[in-house]
A and B are shown apart, each in its own frame.
Chain A
């Protein structure tokens, strides 16, 4: 290892970056410790290195830094975090220092936070159904262990309530183990952070939760490290300690903005909406750290939350996220306005790994067909709703009116549920059958006749 070296040769401070000259051979990605004129210390990381000049990104306020007195110590190692079992139940700041007044972690094991990619050959296909107790997810967009399923939301929508509910209720059927939770907050308000802590406290989940909090008042540059610290911790818990870990990352929009800030400070060629061209690659190195590995017991399931600026899902952040993650849960303002919680728009939502997790032996044999039928009927019903707004309900054919009814029933019976209502998958599917009750057998095209026979009759007989 290279010995730490100090320099006092800062000759430019620009936004979150400092330029240190006369540095001969800093490593790309090397960590530095910066001491300002008042003796305060902050950390930074080398972003660009050449003989004679290093560009360092500062994880903290650049206030107090100056050109003459600032000293920069190159630590000779890349970003690492000490990991241990004691991390559960603790609260850390965005750089991994204790925030709860507790003792610092004592651990010999220091791990690089930039994880190497999992060899696709070593991955195990995620297939264990996670019951979240929320019908619109379990029934329509099933989550499985090892999946990354973001929540696409927007300002003013109850995504936090939803995420907390999932974290509380998530379980794998037939398994008594509960999930450990690693929670990474990037730029959320202290109020939001307290909401999550309270939620975890009330249900006793805090003991199996590690929180990394970078609040909106904290330096935005820390946000670059926060999710990586959280995921490194999660990997330790999952692959070394055989736990099933649920990682909640919120809010990825703030993360991307921090990325944009650095890019702008470096005068890089901007991509769409000013986000750097490597946003996709960068996000992939975060999201792709979800998964399962053959021969290892644990798993990492990711639930990133992002708020779409102006509810625009074509904005680069949701757009690029959607290309990396295995689907999305879409929180809709329209449903929220009609007073439905959770306001999940199933037509916009998707779980790409759903098929692996459902069906006979996992959930129930009628799950796929029923979900397809609900999708199709709901989509058709919504069209009818738009049509009836023009021509009036009376002008619709009898069959069209049925679908209109099914769409209403779907929202009111299936989607809507309590913020602490924990439905079993059986319940969810039975409600689904109830929703399509107005349809005749011949209108149920997505479900195989023998399954209609079996489950429809059964739910009717009840």
Chain B
């Protein structure tokens, strides 16, 4: 393919002549350093390129080489435990090659080409295979078995299959197709902007359990669902997302730091490898992939990072795994779109964002879902997408938030005023919602408790009632309320402080199993009901408030999982005794 030459440089946007054969989204290498870029517009003989690296020093006349390939990610064993930049270059290898500061024009294979993997075939020579069918597997990490699948669009008879040690560049089998023999390797490439094909999409019916009470109890997201966390800065968004990454019950975690702070990304990079998977007691990294594009890395790579992440997520979904993808933050991604659109001198839509912002966001979230993979096995996997949105000044009416809300089904409203009060996770229980709660109802009933949906509804109602009463309290003060309403206020406060508030930094409180959540919620609501009864029979709210059992209830959250049941039993006994003696007192 003919080389082109640079005719204009303006920031990350470069115009080039002489790339006659170039197609949209072809990857190009520009200048002496070979900066990585992509074709984003073709007009007559001029190709417009966006460059994923800093363009300082590039000049008209510099050479442009077209690779003829669209931006792709390499998918194969070795992805797990990796930490990539926005265009899938491993950061640790970048460090080895260029030192502490990222230099430009480095091309590094995404997967270790030398490492050997033990390939165990499942199919044998002569078997008929179709696209998506698993022909063998590789134990990628002690936690995850990596399935080697027939690439999409291929069908035929298997030959040359042999167990043994292979690196990702060695052929492990051959598929004899109508068009001839096609080799199968442990790794394949896939274009990031094309969703990987599936057989069928399924309706979400299982919750993604996170161990975070406010999410699991009140605003659950389904496996394969989409959620948005919008929040003004300083409202605890990053911590909430990291908690999800650490504790959610998905097999694979893909964490995309898009335009993140360097120091925070470092915190992720430092804490993840030390985290233990609560179920297997193995390092959490063994089922995690991090894509890190900090805010000072080139803007075009920031745009790519989201696609890199979701493509990797889809790949593991196709193996039949539940994958959770966290993207923090999609606003930074949208701003990258805006910045590039501005450089292209496109006609801006709302607030300078390109007119295609809504479409691009919808396309991204649509890649989430629970689905049946290609292949005869009918493997079911899911990609759950949790996208953070950071609206400027916390103003939800701006285009990125609005377009995100149109396509996501769970909304976790982070609230800066709660954060200021140190109510964490600072999810506003009045403004948040989950459109999955009906879909998940039967799961909760058969896996937690029959009464679960009712408990949840009761708790939400109390909180709603509190918000109404709060308005009155603002005017007349708490003491002017009737006793029964004081009781509601008190229980609501217990729900807020003893249930909703959860410390990410406390070794016990950081995770609550759904069983513990059930016992906690039941205990608080039982207390509430008993309080309401005793207030009806003449007790004062202040008498109930002084009960020692209240402070015991507030300690359940700090109680380790194996002691919760006995603790709750004890509390029930205390409640019996203390409400009993209160009743006596009132009668006397």
Q: Is A310 an interface residue (CB 8 A)?
A: no
| Inter-chain contact A379/B421, CB cutoff 8 Å | yes
B414 to chain A, nearest CB (A): 13
Binary per-residue interface labels of chain B (229-268) against chain A in the complex, 1 for a CB within 8 Å, 0 otherwise: 0000110001000000000000000000001011111110
The answer to whether A49 and B262 touch (CB under 8 A), given A280-B335, A314-B393, is: no
| Inter-chain contact B394/A314, CB cutoff 8 Å | yes
Stretch of B3-11, B129-137, B437-445, B529-537 that contacts chain A: B3-11
| Inter-chain contact A268/B100, CB cutoff 8 Å | no
| Inter-chain contact A379/B262, CB cutoff 8 Å | no
| Bound-state Cα–Cα, A294 to B266, Å | 11
Q: Closest A-chain residue to B100, C-beta based?
A: A122
| Inter-chain contact A120/B292, CB cutoff 8 Å | yes
| Bound-state Cα–Cα, A327 to B7, Å | 42
Q: Is B370 an interface residue (CB 8 A)?
A: no
| Bound-state Cα–Cα, A355 to B342, Å | 39
Q: Closest A-chain residue to B394, C-beta based?
A: A314
| Inter-chain contact B100/A118, CB cutoff 8 Å | yes
| Bound-state Cα–Cα, A214 to B339, Å | 29
Q: Is B61 an interface residue (CB 8 A)?
A: yes
Q: Is A27 an interface residue (CB 8 A)?
A: yes
| Bound-state Cα–Cα, A316 to B394, Å | 12
- Give the contacting residue for B352; candidates A117, A270, A368; CB below 8 A: A270
| Inter-chain contact A30/B95, CB cutoff 8 Å | no
Binary per-residue interface labels of chain A (414-451) against chain B in the complex, 1 for a CB within 8 Å, 0 otherwise: 00000000000000000000000000001001100000
| Inter-chain contact A121/B339, CB cutoff 8 Å | no
Stretch of A101-109, A163-171, A215-223, A389-397 that contacts chain B: A389-397
The answer to whether A117 and B233 touch (CB under 8 A), given A123-B266, A277-B352, is: no
Stretch of A88-96, A333-341, A345-353 that contacts chain B: A345-353
Q: Is A387 an interface residue (CB 8 A)?
A: yes
- Give the contacting residue for B267; candidates A115, A356, A396; CB below 8 A: A356
A357 to chain B, nearest CB (A): 12
| Inter-chain contact B338/A390, CB cutoff 8 Å | no
Interface centre among B57, B264, B341, B394 (most CB of A within 10 A): B57
Residues of chain A from 370 to 390 with CB closer than 8 A to chain B in the complex: 372, 375-376, 379-380, 387, 390
Q: Closest B-chain residue to A330, C-beta based?
A: B234
Stretch of B37-45, B70-78, B276-284, B293-301 that contacts chain A: B293-301
| Inter-chain contact B59/A26, CB cutoff 8 Å | yes
| Inter-chain contact B10/A28, CB cutoff 8 Å | yes
B497 cross-chain contacts in A, Cβ below 8 A: 445
- Give the contacting residue for B392; candidates A277, A314, A379; CB below 8 A: A314
The answer to whether A147 and B263 touch (CB under 8 A), given A78-B56, A116-B101, A314-B392, is: yes
Interface centre among A121, A288, A324 (most CB of B within 10 A): A121
A361 to chain B, nearest CB (A): 15
Q: Closest A-chain residue to B546, C-beta based?
A: A442
Q: Is B125 an interface residue (CB 8 A)?
A: no
Q: Closest A-chain residue to B423, C-beta based?
A: A376
Residues of chain B from 343 to 359 with CB closer than 8 A to chain A in the complex: 345, 348, 351-352
| Inter-chain contact A375/B261, CB cutoff 8 Å | no
| Inter-chain contact A24/B266, CB cutoff 8 Å | no
| Inter-chain contact B476/A272, CB cutoff 8 Å | no
A304 to chain B, nearest CB (A): 14
Q: Is A296 an interface residue (CB 8 A)?
A: yes
A82 cross-chain contacts in B, Cβ below 8 A: none
- Give the contacting residue for A118; candidates B101, B335, B392, B394; CB below 8 A: B101
B231 to chain A, nearest CB (A): 11
| Bound-state Cα–Cα, A169 to B54, Å | 38
| Inter-chain contact B59/A25, CB cutoff 8 Å | yes
B357 to chain A, nearest CB (A): 13
| Inter-chain contact A125/B94, CB cutoff 8 Å | no
| Bound-state Cα–Cα, A106 to B324, Å | 56
The answer to whether A25 and B352 touch (CB under 8 A), given A123-B263, A277-B338, is: no
B243 to chain A, nearest CB (A): 14
B423 to chain A, nearest CB (A): 8
| Bound-state Cα–Cα, A352 to B332, Å | 19
B56 cross-chain contacts in A, Cβ below 8 A: 27-29, 78, 112, 114
| Bound-state Cα–Cα, A96 to B40, Å | 39
A237 to chain B, nearest CB (A): 16
| Bound-state Cα–Cα, A281 to B392, Å | 15
Q: Is A119 an interface residue (CB 8 A)?
A: yes
- Give the contacting residue for B100; candidates A30, A49, A51, A119; CB below 8 A: A119
Q: Is A400 an interface residue (CB 8 A)?
A: yes
Q: Is A242 an interface residue (CB 8 A)?
A: no
A397 cross-chain contacts in B, Cβ below 8 A: 477-479
Q: Is B69 an interface residue (CB 8 A)?
A: no
The answer to whether A375 and B233 touch (CB under 8 A), given A26-B59, A50-B60, is: no
Q: Is B83 an interface residue (CB 8 A)?
A: yes
| Inter-chain contact A125/B263, CB cutoff 8 Å | yes
- Give the contacting residue for A322; candidates B7, B99, B233, B351; CB below 8 A: B233
The answer to whether A323 and B233 touch (CB under 8 A), given A114-B54, A121-B83, A379-B420, is: yes
A289 cross-chain contacts in B, Cβ below 8 A: 296
| Inter-chain contact A116/B352, CB cutoff 8 Å | no
Q: Is A293 an interface residue (CB 8 A)?
A: yes
| Bound-state Cα–Cα, A395 to B83, Å | 58
The answer to whether A368 and B9 touch (CB under 8 A), given A117-B101, A326-B261, A445-B497, is: no
B15 cross-chain contacts in A, Cβ below 8 A: 50
Q: Is B390 an interface residue (CB 8 A)?
A: yes
| Bound-state Cα–Cα, A149 to B262, Å | 14
The contact sample of 10 A-B pairs, CB cut-off 8 A, is A28-B11, A48-B8, A116-B102, A117-B294, A118-B100, A146-B263, A269-B348, A289-B296, A356-B267, A387-B473
Q: Closest 5 interchain pairs by CB? A: A314-B393, A50-B8, A284-B295, A288-B296, A29-B56
B residues whose Cβ falls under 8 Å from a Cβ of A: 7-11, 15, 54-61, 83, 91-92, 94-95, 98-104, 233-234, 238, 259, 261-267, 269-270, 292, 294-297, 299, 332, 335-336, 338-339, 341-342, 345, 348, 351-352, 390, 392-395, 419-422, 473-480, 497, 505, 551, 554
A residues whose Cβ falls under 8 Å from a Cβ of B: 24-30, 47-51, 78, 112, 114-126, 146-148, 239, 268-272, 276-278, 280-281, 284-285, 287-291, 293-294, 296, 313-316, 319-320, 322-328, 347-348, 350, 352-353, 355-356, 368, 372, 375-376, 379-380, 387, 390-391, 395-397, 400, 442, 445-446
